[in-house]
């Protein structure tokens, strides 16, 4: 049985988030599960113009991003303007520009916050459900993804696989190990015994691509998600991995 204990949890938009979870199995310390949520800033540019060091500033940025998410859900990201965000948030345009120099940076920040929340949701699901097998951990990730589509404003504009790849450039190869698939591979190998290495990372990248496509399709016309596509995403992911690592039973 896995015991995941929160040691410290803090998030600052535009900074490297530290979420330290100490994972222990049968009294032996394992690789911290916080690696899944570390290094989420997937762009090379700073997300905000002013670092939200104070709690009030962090709350103001969250309010601006909440407003942007609402507008994006209503009209799409391509029509979003900073003036719309200011009006929806009840803030001045100067306040928006204080943190976000343009709409692109604003959308990047919205995307990175949503991806960070997704990663955190996966960690929390694993902590609460204490999965016994690797497949149950994968299910936690898929289920959290579906919940984000249903409950996180603005999440549907994000192409998860594209967002995960967006920071991977030849000039910054180190960021490759910060992708969700690579972090999740460490969890499956360290906590569930799957063979570690590039093959596992690659196969989880394939699962991310397939699941992202099917679940995006599920929510194309149905705000609650077409359960047929969601079910198929689970089947495809499990069958693909089970052919290589067993059925997880």
pLDDT digits (tens, 9 = 90+) for 22-44: 333 333 333 333 344 444 444 44
Kindly report, residue by residue over 199-211, the tens digit of the pLDDT.
999 999 999 999 9
Average pLDDT over residues 74-95: 92
Task: Give the whole-angstrom CA distance, residue 190 versus residue 24.
Answer: 11
Give the CATH number of domain 2-245: 1.10.357.10
Alpha helix ranges (H) inside 130-175: 134-151, 160-165
Q: Which of 143, 154, 135, 119 is nearest to 225 (CA)?
A: 143
pLDDT at 169 over 50: no
Q: At what angle do helices 55-75 and 103-129 cross, to 10 degrees?
A: 100
Residue 50: per-residue pLDDT: 53
pTM reported for the whole predicted model: 0.73
CB atoms under 10 Å from CB of 31, counted, come to 12
Tokens representing 20? Answer: 């330290």
Q: Which of 47, 45, 63 is nearest to 55 (CA)?
A: 63
Where do the structural domains in the chain lie, given as residue ranges? 2-245
Residue 30: per-residue pLDDT: 33
Kindly report, residue by residue over 53-69, the tens digit of the pLDDT.
577 788 899 999 999 99
Task: Give the whole-angstrom CA distance, residue 29 versus residue 3.
Answer: 10
Residue 161: per-residue pLDDT: 52
């Amino acid at each position: 049985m896995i015991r995941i204990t929160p040691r410290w949890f803090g998030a600052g938009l535009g900074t490297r988030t530290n979420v330290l979870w100490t994972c222990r199995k049968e009294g032996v310390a394992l690789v911290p599960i916080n690696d899944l949520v570390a290094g989420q800033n997937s762009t090379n540019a700073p997300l905000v113009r002013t670092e939200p060091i104070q709690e009030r500033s962090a709350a103001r940025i969250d309010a601006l991003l909440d407003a942007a998410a609402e507008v994006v859900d209503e009209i799409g990201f391509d029509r979003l303007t900073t003036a719309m965000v200011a009006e929806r948030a009840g803030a001045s345009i100067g306040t928006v520009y204080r943190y976000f120099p343009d709409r692109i940076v604003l959308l990047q920040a919205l995307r990175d916050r949503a991806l960070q929340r997704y990663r955190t949701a996966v960690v929390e699901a694993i902590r609460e459900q204490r999965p016994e097998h690797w497949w149950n951990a994968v299910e936690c990730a898929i289920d959290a993804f579906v919940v984000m589509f249903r409950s996180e404003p603005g999440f549907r504009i994000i192409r998860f696989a594209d967002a995960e790849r967006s920071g991977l450039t030849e000039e910054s190869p180190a960021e490759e190990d910060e992708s969700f698939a690579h972090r999740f591979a460490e969890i499956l190998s360290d906590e569930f015994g799957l063979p570690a290495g590039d093959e596992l990372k690659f196969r989880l990248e394939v699962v991310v691509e397939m699941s992202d496509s099917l679940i995006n399709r599920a929510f194309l016309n149905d705000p609650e998600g077409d359960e047929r596509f969601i079910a198929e995403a689970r089947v495809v992911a499990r069958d693909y991995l089970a052919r290589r690592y067993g059925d997880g039973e």
